[in-house]
Structure 1
Amino acid sequence: MEPAAVNTGLSHIRQWLAVAALACLITPAHASVEDQIKAAFLLNFAKFVEWPASQFASPDAPVQLCLQVPEEVAEVIENTLASKSVGRRPMQVQSRQESLSGCHLVYLRGDPDQVRRTLQKLPAPGLLSVYEHPVPQDEGVIRLFLENRKIRFSIDTDSAREQELTISAKLLSVAR
Protein backbone atom coordinates (compact mmCIF):
# COMPACT_ATOMS: atom_id res chain seq x y z
CA MET A 1 0.00 0.00 0.00
CA GLU A 2 1.25 3.49 -0.84
CA PRO A 3 2.29 5.66 2.15
CA ALA A 4 -0.22 8.32 1.06
CA ALA A 5 -3.01 5.75 1.08
CA VAL A 6 -2.09 4.65 4.60
CA ASN A 7 -1.99 8.27 5.80
CA THR A 8 -5.38 8.92 4.21
CA GLY A 9 -6.78 5.82 5.91
CA LEU A 10 -5.35 6.82 9.28
CA SER A 11 -6.72 10.31 8.79
CA HIS A 12 -10.15 8.83 8.09
CA ILE A 13 -10.04 6.72 11.25
CA ARG A 14 -8.90 9.69 13.32
CA GLN A 15 -11.82 11.66 11.88
CA TRP A 16 -14.38 9.04 12.94
CA LEU A 17 -12.84 8.91 16.39
CA ALA A 18 -13.31 12.69 16.61
CA VAL A 19 -16.88 12.31 15.35
CA ALA A 20 -17.45 9.66 18.02
CA ALA A 21 -16.35 12.15 20.66
CA LEU A 22 -18.61 14.83 19.19
CA ALA A 23 -21.56 12.43 19.04
CA CYS A 24 -21.99 12.90 22.75
CA LEU A 25 -22.96 16.52 22.13
CA ILE A 26 -26.01 15.65 20.01
CA THR A 27 -27.60 12.85 22.05
CA PRO A 28 -29.74 13.14 25.19
CA ALA A 29 -27.99 14.71 28.17
CA HIS A 30 -28.91 11.82 30.49
CA ALA A 31 -26.94 9.34 28.38
CA SER A 32 -23.47 8.27 29.41
CA VAL A 33 -20.81 9.97 27.31
CA GLU A 34 -18.57 6.91 27.54
CA ASP A 35 -21.34 4.63 26.30
CA GLN A 36 -22.13 7.00 23.43
CA ILE A 37 -18.49 6.93 22.38
CA LYS A 38 -18.45 3.13 22.62
CA ALA A 39 -21.57 3.02 20.44
CA ALA A 40 -19.74 5.07 17.82
CA PHE A 41 -16.81 2.64 18.05
CA LEU A 42 -19.21 -0.28 17.44
CA LEU A 43 -20.66 1.40 14.36
CA ASN A 44 -17.25 2.21 12.97
CA PHE A 45 -15.82 -1.23 13.71
CA ALA A 46 -18.61 -2.58 11.50
CA LYS A 47 -17.57 -0.19 8.73
CA PHE A 48 -14.03 -1.57 8.74
CA VAL A 49 -14.90 -5.28 8.82
CA GLU A 50 -15.89 -7.52 5.94
CA TRP A 51 -18.19 -10.46 6.69
CA PRO A 52 -18.55 -13.61 4.61
CA ALA A 53 -21.11 -12.89 1.85
CA SER A 54 -23.16 -15.85 3.08
CA GLN A 55 -23.93 -13.98 6.33
CA PHE A 56 -26.37 -11.64 4.58
CA ALA A 57 -29.49 -12.47 2.57
CA SER A 58 -28.92 -9.50 0.23
CA PRO A 59 -26.49 -6.60 -0.31
CA ASP A 60 -28.74 -4.26 1.68
CA ALA A 61 -29.72 -6.69 4.46
CA PRO A 62 -29.26 -5.12 7.91
CA VAL A 63 -26.27 -5.59 10.17
CA GLN A 64 -27.59 -7.10 13.39
CA LEU A 65 -25.88 -5.70 16.49
CA CYS A 66 -26.73 -7.78 19.54
CA LEU A 67 -26.06 -6.48 23.02
CA GLN A 68 -25.36 -8.36 26.22
CA VAL A 69 -24.88 -5.35 28.44
CA PRO A 70 -26.69 -3.72 31.37
CA GLU A 71 -30.12 -2.34 30.42
CA GLU A 72 -29.16 1.33 30.81
CA VAL A 73 -26.14 0.80 28.52
CA ALA A 74 -28.31 -0.93 25.91
CA GLU A 75 -30.68 2.04 25.92
CA VAL A 76 -27.82 4.50 25.30
CA ILE A 77 -26.41 2.39 22.46
CA GLU A 78 -29.84 1.88 20.87
CA ASN A 79 -30.54 5.63 20.97
CA THR A 80 -27.08 6.58 19.70
CA LEU A 81 -27.22 4.16 16.76
CA ALA A 82 -30.88 4.71 15.81
CA SER A 83 -31.16 5.10 12.01
CA LYS A 84 -27.42 4.55 11.44
CA SER A 85 -26.10 2.35 8.66
CA VAL A 86 -22.99 0.50 7.55
CA GLY A 87 -22.71 1.35 3.88
CA ARG A 88 -26.05 0.35 2.33
CA ARG A 89 -26.95 -1.84 5.30
CA PRO A 90 -29.06 -0.38 8.09
CA MET A 91 -27.86 -1.24 11.58
CA GLN A 92 -30.42 -2.94 13.80
CA VAL A 93 -29.71 -3.03 17.53
CA GLN A 94 -31.27 -5.43 19.99
CA SER A 95 -30.60 -6.72 23.48
CA ARG A 96 -30.29 -10.48 23.81
CA GLN A 97 -29.47 -12.41 26.92
CA GLU A 98 -29.54 -15.85 25.33
CA SER A 99 -29.10 -16.85 21.69
CA LEU A 100 -26.79 -14.84 19.44
CA SER A 101 -28.03 -16.64 16.34
CA GLY A 102 -28.49 -14.21 13.46
CA CYS A 103 -26.18 -11.59 14.96
CA HIS A 104 -23.33 -10.11 12.92
CA LEU A 105 -21.84 -8.07 15.73
CA VAL A 106 -22.12 -8.69 19.47
CA TYR A 107 -21.09 -6.36 22.28
CA LEU A 108 -20.44 -8.07 25.62
CA ARG A 109 -19.99 -6.21 28.88
CA GLY A 110 -20.63 -7.03 32.50
CA ASP A 111 -19.47 -9.78 34.82
CA PRO A 112 -16.01 -10.88 33.55
CA ASP A 113 -16.78 -14.58 34.11
CA GLN A 114 -20.02 -14.31 32.13
CA VAL A 115 -18.28 -12.42 29.31
CA ARG A 116 -15.60 -15.14 29.14
CA ARG A 117 -18.20 -17.95 29.11
CA THR A 118 -20.19 -16.22 26.36
CA LEU A 119 -17.07 -15.70 24.23
CA GLN A 120 -16.25 -19.41 24.56
CA LYS A 121 -19.58 -20.46 23.05
CA LEU A 122 -20.02 -17.93 20.25
CA PRO A 123 -21.48 -19.22 17.02
CA ALA A 124 -19.15 -19.25 14.00
CA PRO A 125 -18.45 -18.13 11.36
CA GLY A 126 -19.25 -14.50 10.79
CA LEU A 127 -19.70 -13.04 14.27
CA LEU A 128 -17.66 -9.98 15.20
CA SER A 129 -17.35 -10.00 18.98
CA VAL A 130 -16.53 -6.78 20.82
CA TYR A 131 -16.07 -7.22 24.53
CA GLU A 132 -14.85 -5.63 27.72
CA HIS A 133 -12.77 -7.78 30.04
CA PRO A 134 -9.80 -7.11 32.34
CA VAL A 135 -7.54 -9.29 30.15
CA PRO A 136 -7.63 -10.32 26.46
CA GLN A 137 -9.62 -13.47 25.75
CA ASP A 138 -8.63 -16.01 23.08
CA GLU A 139 -12.13 -16.24 21.66
CA GLY A 140 -12.91 -12.51 21.29
CA VAL A 141 -12.11 -10.42 18.23
CA ILE A 142 -12.05 -6.83 19.54
CA ARG A 143 -11.40 -5.92 23.16
CA LEU A 144 -12.37 -2.46 24.42
CA PHE A 145 -10.53 -1.16 27.46
CA LEU A 146 -9.65 2.06 29.26
CA GLU A 147 -6.06 3.23 29.27
CA ASN A 148 -5.08 6.58 30.77
CA ARG A 149 -8.78 7.52 30.85
CA LYS A 150 -9.14 6.91 27.09
CA ILE A 151 -11.05 4.18 25.31
CA ARG A 152 -8.66 1.90 23.46
CA PHE A 153 -9.08 -1.35 21.57
CA SER A 154 -7.05 -4.37 20.59
CA ILE A 155 -7.79 -6.84 17.82
CA ASP A 156 -7.11 -10.57 17.89
CA THR A 157 -6.48 -11.35 14.23
CA ASP A 158 -6.49 -15.12 14.88
CA SER A 159 -10.02 -14.90 16.30
CA ALA A 160 -11.09 -12.73 13.37
CA ARG A 161 -9.72 -15.32 10.94
CA GLU A 162 -11.55 -18.13 12.79
CA GLN A 163 -14.76 -16.14 12.38
CA GLU A 164 -13.94 -15.65 8.67
CA LEU A 165 -13.90 -11.87 9.12
CA THR A 166 -11.59 -9.54 7.22
CA ILE A 167 -10.41 -6.60 9.30
CA SER A 168 -9.31 -3.52 7.38
CA ALA A 169 -5.60 -2.72 7.54
CA LYS A 170 -6.65 0.82 8.44
CA LEU A 171 -8.41 -0.40 11.57
CA LEU A 172 -5.58 -2.75 12.46
CA SER A 173 -3.09 0.10 12.23
CA VAL A 174 -4.79 2.08 15.02
CA ALA A 175 -5.45 -0.86 17.35
CA ARG A 176 -3.21 -1.49 20.39
Structure 2
Amino acid sequence: MYLKMMQCVGSVNRTQWIYPLVLCLCATLSLSVMAEDEAVSAQALQLQKVKAVFVLNIAKFVRWPADVVAAHKEHLTLCYYREDVLGSAYDVIHDHTVDGRQLALQRITDADNLAVCDLLLLSEAGMEQYLRAPLVSGETPLLVVADLTAHESTGKGYPGVHVALVRKGSKLGFDVNLSAAHRSGLKFSSRLLRLARIVDENT
Protein backbone atom coordinates (compact mmCIF):
# COMPACT_ATOMS: atom_id res chain seq x y z
CA MET A 1 0.00 0.00 0.00
CA TYR A 2 2.84 2.40 0.89
CA LEU A 3 4.54 1.91 -2.48
CA LYS A 4 1.32 2.58 -4.35
CA MET A 5 0.74 5.84 -2.49
CA MET A 6 4.32 7.06 -3.02
CA GLN A 7 4.16 6.29 -6.73
CA CYS A 8 0.96 8.28 -6.93
CA VAL A 9 2.44 11.25 -5.04
CA GLY A 10 5.71 11.24 -6.95
CA SER A 11 3.99 11.96 -10.23
CA VAL A 12 2.75 15.43 -9.19
CA ASN A 13 4.32 18.77 -8.22
CA ARG A 14 5.31 18.97 -4.53
CA THR A 15 3.08 21.98 -3.99
CA GLN A 16 0.10 19.99 -5.26
CA TRP A 17 0.67 16.65 -3.58
CA ILE A 18 -2.17 16.69 -1.01
CA TYR A 19 -5.14 16.29 -3.38
CA PRO A 20 -3.66 13.39 -5.38
CA LEU A 21 -2.62 11.73 -2.11
CA VAL A 22 -6.19 11.94 -0.81
CA LEU A 23 -7.48 10.46 -4.06
CA CYS A 24 -4.90 7.70 -3.92
CA LEU A 25 -5.75 6.92 -0.28
CA CYS A 26 -9.46 6.82 -1.08
CA ALA A 27 -8.87 4.49 -4.03
CA THR A 28 -6.67 2.20 -1.93
CA LEU A 29 -9.21 2.11 0.91
CA SER A 30 -12.04 1.42 -1.54
CA LEU A 31 -10.15 -1.50 -3.01
CA SER A 32 -9.46 -2.80 0.50
CA VAL A 33 -13.15 -2.59 1.47
CA MET A 34 -14.16 -4.30 -1.78
CA ALA A 35 -11.68 -7.10 -1.11
CA GLU A 36 -13.05 -7.54 2.41
CA ASP A 37 -16.63 -7.62 1.09
CA GLU A 38 -15.65 -10.25 -1.48
CA ALA A 39 -13.98 -12.33 1.22
CA VAL A 40 -17.09 -12.14 3.42
CA SER A 41 -19.29 -13.09 0.47
CA ALA A 42 -17.03 -16.04 -0.33
CA GLN A 43 -17.19 -17.21 3.29
CA ALA A 44 -20.98 -16.88 3.33
CA LEU A 45 -21.27 -18.91 0.12
CA GLN A 46 -18.95 -21.58 1.50
CA LEU A 47 -21.12 -21.82 4.62
CA GLN A 48 -24.23 -22.22 2.47
CA LYS A 49 -22.51 -25.00 0.53
CA VAL A 50 -21.72 -26.80 3.78
CA LYS A 51 -25.39 -26.54 4.75
CA ALA A 52 -26.43 -27.91 1.37
CA VAL A 53 -24.21 -30.96 1.89
CA PHE A 54 -25.65 -31.43 5.38
CA VAL A 55 -29.18 -31.44 3.95
CA LEU A 56 -28.25 -33.95 1.25
CA ASN A 57 -26.52 -36.32 3.66
CA ILE A 58 -29.35 -36.13 6.19
CA ALA A 59 -31.83 -37.06 3.45
CA LYS A 60 -29.70 -40.07 2.55
CA PHE A 61 -30.19 -41.49 6.04
CA VAL A 62 -33.96 -40.99 6.27
CA ARG A 63 -36.52 -43.51 5.04
CA TRP A 64 -39.88 -42.33 3.80
CA PRO A 65 -42.96 -44.59 3.91
CA ALA A 66 -43.24 -46.95 0.93
CA ASP A 67 -46.36 -45.26 -0.45
CA VAL A 68 -44.60 -41.88 -0.51
CA VAL A 69 -41.62 -43.32 -2.36
CA ALA A 70 -43.95 -45.06 -4.81
CA ALA A 71 -45.71 -41.76 -5.53
CA HIS A 72 -42.40 -39.95 -6.05
CA LYS A 73 -40.41 -42.60 -7.89
CA GLU A 74 -38.29 -40.34 -10.07
CA HIS A 75 -37.45 -37.44 -7.81
CA LEU A 76 -36.85 -36.55 -4.20
CA THR A 77 -38.08 -32.97 -4.11
CA LEU A 78 -36.52 -30.39 -1.83
CA CYS A 79 -38.89 -27.47 -1.32
CA TYR A 80 -38.41 -23.92 -0.13
CA TYR A 81 -41.32 -22.14 1.46
CA ARG A 82 -41.30 -18.66 -0.12
CA GLU A 83 -37.63 -18.05 0.75
CA ASP A 84 -34.60 -19.33 -1.18
CA VAL A 85 -32.66 -20.79 1.72
CA LEU A 86 -29.55 -22.15 -0.02
CA GLY A 87 -29.28 -19.79 -2.97
CA SER A 88 -26.60 -20.73 -5.50
CA ALA A 89 -25.15 -23.24 -3.02
CA TYR A 90 -27.84 -25.67 -4.17
CA ASP A 91 -25.72 -26.20 -7.29
CA VAL A 92 -23.34 -28.28 -5.15
CA ILE A 93 -25.96 -31.00 -4.64
CA HIS A 94 -28.39 -30.58 -7.54
CA ASP A 95 -27.08 -33.53 -9.58
CA HIS A 96 -27.12 -36.03 -6.70
CA THR A 97 -29.55 -38.85 -6.03
CA VAL A 98 -31.08 -40.23 -2.85
CA ASP A 99 -31.89 -43.96 -3.00
CA GLY A 100 -32.01 -43.74 -6.78
CA ARG A 101 -34.26 -40.69 -6.85
CA GLN A 102 -32.90 -37.57 -8.51
CA LEU A 103 -32.80 -34.54 -6.24
CA ALA A 104 -35.11 -31.76 -7.45
CA LEU A 105 -35.85 -28.27 -6.19
CA GLN A 106 -39.14 -26.42 -6.00
CA ARG A 107 -40.29 -23.24 -4.31
CA ILE A 108 -43.80 -23.31 -2.89
CA THR A 109 -46.02 -20.46 -1.77
CA ASP A 110 -48.85 -22.30 -0.03
CA ALA A 111 -49.86 -25.66 1.41
CA ASP A 112 -51.62 -26.70 -1.80
CA ASN A 113 -48.23 -27.28 -3.48
CA LEU A 114 -46.76 -29.43 -0.72
CA ALA A 115 -47.92 -32.71 -2.23
CA VAL A 116 -44.84 -32.80 -4.48
CA CYS A 117 -42.42 -32.19 -1.61
CA ASP A 118 -40.39 -34.80 0.24
CA LEU A 119 -38.24 -32.35 2.21
CA LEU A 120 -39.14 -28.84 3.32
CA LEU A 121 -36.19 -26.55 4.12
CA LEU A 122 -36.98 -23.50 6.23
CA SER A 123 -35.01 -20.46 7.30
CA GLU A 124 -35.33 -19.44 10.94
CA ALA A 125 -37.91 -16.80 10.02
CA GLY A 126 -39.71 -19.36 7.88
CA MET A 127 -39.75 -21.81 10.78
CA GLU A 128 -41.25 -19.24 13.11
CA GLN A 129 -44.01 -18.62 10.57
CA TYR A 130 -44.44 -22.38 10.12
CA LEU A 131 -44.84 -22.87 13.88
CA ARG A 132 -47.54 -20.19 14.02
CA ALA A 133 -49.40 -21.63 11.04
CA PRO A 134 -48.29 -25.20 10.19
CA LEU A 135 -48.64 -26.12 6.54
CA VAL A 136 -49.16 -29.82 7.26
CA SER A 137 -50.25 -32.02 10.14
CA GLY A 138 -47.68 -33.69 12.35
CA GLU A 139 -48.54 -37.05 10.78
CA THR A 140 -47.53 -35.97 7.26
CA PRO A 141 -44.38 -37.81 6.06
CA LEU A 142 -42.66 -34.60 4.99
CA LEU A 143 -39.13 -34.15 6.31
CA VAL A 144 -38.95 -30.63 7.77
CA VAL A 145 -35.46 -29.16 8.21
CA ALA A 146 -34.84 -25.72 9.70
CA ASP A 147 -31.67 -23.65 9.35
CA LEU A 148 -31.00 -22.25 12.84
CA THR A 149 -27.30 -21.56 12.37
CA ALA A 150 -27.51 -17.79 12.78
CA HIS A 151 -26.83 -18.15 16.51
CA GLU A 152 -25.67 -20.68 19.07
CA SER A 153 -27.90 -23.73 19.50
CA THR A 154 -30.39 -23.67 22.38
CA GLY A 155 -30.91 -27.43 22.38
CA LYS A 156 -34.64 -26.96 22.04
CA GLY A 157 -36.92 -29.02 19.81
CA TYR A 158 -39.78 -27.49 17.81
CA PRO A 159 -43.12 -29.15 17.02
CA GLY A 160 -43.25 -30.44 13.46
CA VAL A 161 -39.57 -29.71 12.80
CA HIS A 162 -37.67 -32.98 12.45
CA VAL A 163 -34.12 -31.68 11.98
CA ALA A 164 -32.51 -28.38 12.87
CA LEU A 165 -29.15 -27.31 11.47
CA VAL A 166 -27.43 -25.66 14.41
CA ARG A 167 -24.20 -23.96 15.33
CA LYS A 168 -22.08 -25.35 18.14
CA GLY A 169 -19.28 -22.88 18.71
CA SER A 170 -17.47 -22.59 15.40
CA LYS A 171 -18.88 -25.88 14.09
CA LEU A 172 -22.14 -26.87 12.46
CA GLY A 173 -24.19 -29.79 13.66
CA PHE A 174 -27.78 -30.91 13.70
CA ASP A 175 -30.51 -31.71 16.21
CA VAL A 176 -33.12 -34.40 15.64
CA ASN A 177 -36.63 -34.28 17.09
CA LEU A 178 -37.40 -38.00 17.28
CA SER A 179 -40.91 -37.61 18.65
CA ALA A 180 -41.87 -35.47 15.63
CA ALA A 181 -40.19 -37.98 13.30
CA HIS A 182 -42.10 -40.90 14.81
CA ARG A 183 -45.43 -39.11 14.41
CA SER A 184 -44.71 -38.44 10.74
CA GLY A 185 -43.72 -42.01 9.91
CA LEU A 186 -40.17 -41.05 8.93
CA LYS A 187 -37.40 -43.44 9.93
CA PHE A 188 -33.96 -42.12 10.84
CA SER A 189 -30.90 -44.35 10.46
CA SER A 190 -29.02 -45.18 13.64
CA ARG A 191 -25.87 -43.99 11.85
CA LEU A 192 -27.44 -40.55 11.48
CA LEU A 193 -28.68 -40.48 15.06
CA ARG A 194 -25.21 -41.22 16.40
CA LEU A 195 -24.03 -37.94 14.87
CA ALA A 196 -27.04 -35.92 16.03
CA ARG A 197 -28.15 -34.41 19.29
CA ILE A 198 -31.60 -35.70 20.19
CA VAL A 199 -33.90 -32.90 21.36
CA ASP A 200 -37.31 -32.81 23.04
CA GLU A 201 -39.90 -30.35 21.78
CA ASN A 202 -41.45 -30.14 25.25
CA THR A 203 -38.43 -28.47 26.85
Structure 2 length-normalised TM: 0.64
1:56-112 per-residue CA deviation (whole Å, 9 max, x = no partner) reads 2368421111113643x4432431222111121111112223232221111110425
Residue 38 of structure 1 deviates from its aligned partner by: 0.8
Aligned residue number for residue 68 of structure 2 = 55
Aligned residue number for residue 172 of structure 1 = 193
Q: More helix by proportion, 1 or 2?
A: 2
Structure 2, unaligned stretches of length 5 or more? 1-41, 149-153, 198-203
- Distance of aligned partners of 1:69 and 1:136 in 2 relative to their CA distance in 1, 3 Å threshold: farther
CA distance in 2, matches of 1:80, 1:66: 16
Aligned residue number for residue 32 of structure 1 = 45
Structure 1, unaligned stretches of length 5 or more? 1-28
Aligned residue number for residue 104 of structure 2 = 92
* Pair 1:104 & 2:104 matched: no
2:65 and 2:186 in contact (8 A); partners too: yes
SS in 2 for 1:101: helix
Aligned residue number for residue 12 of structure 1 = none
Residue 171 of structure 1 deviates from its aligned partner by: 0.4
Aligned residue number for residue 128 of structure 1 = 143
When structure 1 is superposed on structure 2, of 137-146 and 162-171 the one drifting more is 137-146
Aligned residue number for residue 54 of structure 2 = 41
Structure with higher RCO (Cα < 8 A, 6+ apart): 1
Structure 1 length-normalised TM: 0.72
SS in 1 for 2:70: coil
CA distance in 2, matches of 1:105, 1:58: 14
Aligned residue number for residue 173 of structure 2 = 152
Matched pairs, number: 146
Q: Which amino acid aligns with 2:123?
A: R
2:76 and 2:103 in contact (8 A); partners too: yes
SS in 2 for 1:40: helix
CA distance in 2, matches of 1:162, 1:35: 30
SS in 2 for 1:136: coil
CA distance in 1, matches of 2:44, 2:124: 18
- Distance of aligned partners of 1:30 and 1:37 in 2 relative to their CA distance in 1, 3 Å threshold: closer
- Distance of aligned partners of 1:108 and 1:126 in 2 relative to their CA distance in 1, 3 Å threshold: same
1:122-148 per-residue CA deviation (whole Å, 9 max, x = no partner) reads 244211110134642122110111110
CA distance in 1, matches of 2:75, 2:91: 17
CA distance in 1, matches of 2:48, 2:81: 14
* RMSD over aligned Cα atoms: 2.3
SS in 2 for 1:32: helix
Tell me which structure has the larger Cα radius of gyration: 2
Q: Which amino acid aligns with 1:33?
A: Q
